[in-house]
Chain A
């Protein structure tokens, strides 16, 4: 009953014309931020902060949050169309989304990304509304050992991303782990592998590496194969540009998977949407009847990570709004904004300012509907971009990549890194090395090392710390089971083969 009253209060706040207007401004800007690589949510919020000082805090938060979850919708667009991840969490979307585009199914891929984002985004808000306080307390049980086990679980996803050759997949992951070790060793403040370059003290920028390997690498490979003039087929007719009923049916589990995994990972401070999207992709492939389809244009491979990416927003707002603990740069910026508006975000926020919390929750329902209405009609429009001839499309991709990467730190050094990673991406493609395990290891490697060493300091060097804490054990066991799946499949295939040979 109380919840119902609160929701009514929330909608009373969210549906005022002023708040509706700024909610729309937020989600619209968010979509654009998501589409443009490099320009991230934290930077956008920072730029718009001065504009919001005249607003009341609820309105400001509604708009800023709109940018945050709106950017999650836009991120998939360039991933699918150009193999160019618009933001870090959309890297996984490239794997199957771009393949679908090459097969003339860019429309369904974009459509399913929007629909999945909407479904999972809504589930995330439901979670935020119904279980936020108990879940926040649960998340506090995650200390460094639990985080390490979560990262270990994440790293086992390499086996689902490896593609044809497991050895090449593992090698790519090793390179990723090495790249993750570049930068300042936080425990001793000593620089590692920085080759005298100050710019590397903070490590390899993840967005630079992914855009280089995926987008630049792809352009280079395609330029070489210039005999093929028509890379993309774009079917005519609106019906072929949207997902079919069968597509939606295929994605039933992906919607659920993305929603739940995304929300739960989101609740953990410091885990993040990128890990959520990789985990849900791995889970989707692990339970799929046709795991071989993944990486060649499986629609579930787009739906699951895009869903996870969006429901992560609801999850990430849980520790922020119930405890005042931000888990990512974006939520840290929201916290900063709240403080600058004169609010005191902390454990008493919901109690003392219910109109802020419930107003935001209600506005997120509205915002998600706006985003769906905003994004679906754009699908055919975006899909037609691929009709643009290659001699025009490739320079555009290169241009967007360079500008996007420069926008992150306004540093020329990053452009050289982009070129370097572009060449790496090209070489890997030529030698048939999968790129996704490298990126996964680069993202998780930093956190994995950090939490491993933190755990060992806590236990004074005793490794049993990972096996004596229940949550940690559960995650390590899950990782072990996941590792066993491909082995099980190989032995089965081998049995079948020997059986047929005997016959």
Chain B
């Protein structure tokens, strides 16, 4: 008994002593990385998230917001699963963050083997929203998405949409539109964006829901045309393209999100550092140029807002995935 009591006293004294000598900035706002940070992503070199992570690091360096030397790490297995597992291992490590997309949410919902889900991580910031547009071959007769849908109603199952995996935003949109309009068409999953455009240009498939930057050069060359924006309002860069709702097709809009998350249970001061850093980035010329060139929407949210937004996205995706016939496990 005595020894226990003595131990408690000593321990308490030590805690108080530690608190007294600890510099304020460790407990307060002053966190700053002391060495180069690893930025994790779930793509292979050259993939979407890989490029986003590299662009972030490049812009931060260019704007002198960070010292040079930050590394981009590729953890590509399992559509986000490996990246999530890696980030979870880094709990407590102040020098690792990761970029994420909708894929993390979808993988969390559909792959029962994943040990971690998007909810396990500390939300840091949302950076961009990527709009989706409906694209057809340049010499196709459809003037808008409505024409395509009407034609699909006339010949059910004969028109073909090319896109990513069944759980991608493209296929979710297809299911939503099919459900609202009663039209039916096929969906073919083609592995890479390049091959999807090749299939569209070759006339093997009829429509592709793409990101504007993927097809802008083909639009300029007249090879393809954009017939609808799958967004709430018209896109700044495409003022003449009407939105899906303007065309009379009323579906919920799903948007591809890109941002950053940290390891589980990140202390408040570190979160504040990342919020501040990325907020400052969004004010720079490099960022504005990036947003314009890639035809995305700059859409900063802080940690708390992102957390709420991710919950909402998770619920929306869960419902849509179920409707799309994908097995949801969580």
Contacts and interface: CB of A to CB of B under 8 A. Distances in A.
Given A42-B46, A348-B221, A142 B202 contact: yes
Interface stretch (A189-197, A212-220, A234-242): A189-197
Given A188-B166, A202-B76, A340-B58, A458 B188 contact: yes
B187 interface: yes
B113 A457 contact: no
A270 B192 contact: yes
B204 A143 contact: yes
Given A46-B45, A324-B217, A409-B77, A187 B189 contact: yes
A141 interface: yes
Contact of B46 (A142, A144, A324, A336): A336
B79 A144 contact: no
A202 B78 CA distance: 5
Given A46-B50, A319-B194, A333 B221 contact: no
B330 interface: no
Contacts of B165: 186, 189
A194 B77 contact: no
Contacts of A450: 191
A140 interface: yes
A399 interface: no
B82 A198 contact: yes
Nearest to B165: A186
Contacts of B202: 140-143
Contacts of B166: 186-189
Contacts of B217: 324, 344-349
20 contacts: A43-B45, A43-B74, A140-B201, A143-B199, A144-B199, A198-B81, A198-B85, A198-B114, A201-B77, A269-B192, A270-B192, A270-B194, A323-B197, A323-B218, A325-B194, A329-B44, A332-B46, A344-B217, A348-B217, A457-B186
B325 to A, nearest CB: 9
Nearest to A141: B202
A199 interface: yes
Contact of B221 (A139, A339, A346): A346
A226 to B, nearest CB: 38
Contact of A140 (B85, B198, B216): B198
B157 interface: yes
Q: How large is the interface on B (under 10, 10 to 19, 20 to 34, 35 or more residues)?
A: 35 or more
A371 interface: no
A184 interface: yes
B54 interface: yes
Interface in A310-360: 319, 323-327, 329, 332-333, 335-336, 339-340, 342, 344-349
Interface in B169-204: 186-192, 194-195, 197-199, 201-202, 204
Contacts of B220: 346, 348
Contacts of A134: none
Interface residues of A, number: 57
B55 interface: yes
Given A187-B189, A344-B217, A457-B187, A332 B194 contact: yes
Given A196-B113, A348-B217, A189 B167 contact: yes
In the A-B complex, list the 4 residue pairs whose CB atoms are closest, starting with the nearest.
A346-B217, A143-B204, A201-B78, A140-B202
Contacts of B73: 410
A500 interface: no
B251 interface: no
A454 B79 contact: no
A327 B194 CA distance: 7
Contacts of A194: 113
B81 A333 contact: no
B154 interface: no
A307 B72 CA distance: 35
Given A319-B194, A332-B46, A457-B188, 11 more contacts: A140-B198, A144-B188, A191-B111, A198-B85, A198-B114, A324-B194, A327-B195, A329-B44, A344-B216, A346-B221, A457-B186
A449 to B, nearest CB: 12
Contact of B58 (A53, A144, A332, A458): A53
A79 to B, nearest CB: 23
Nearest to B187: A457
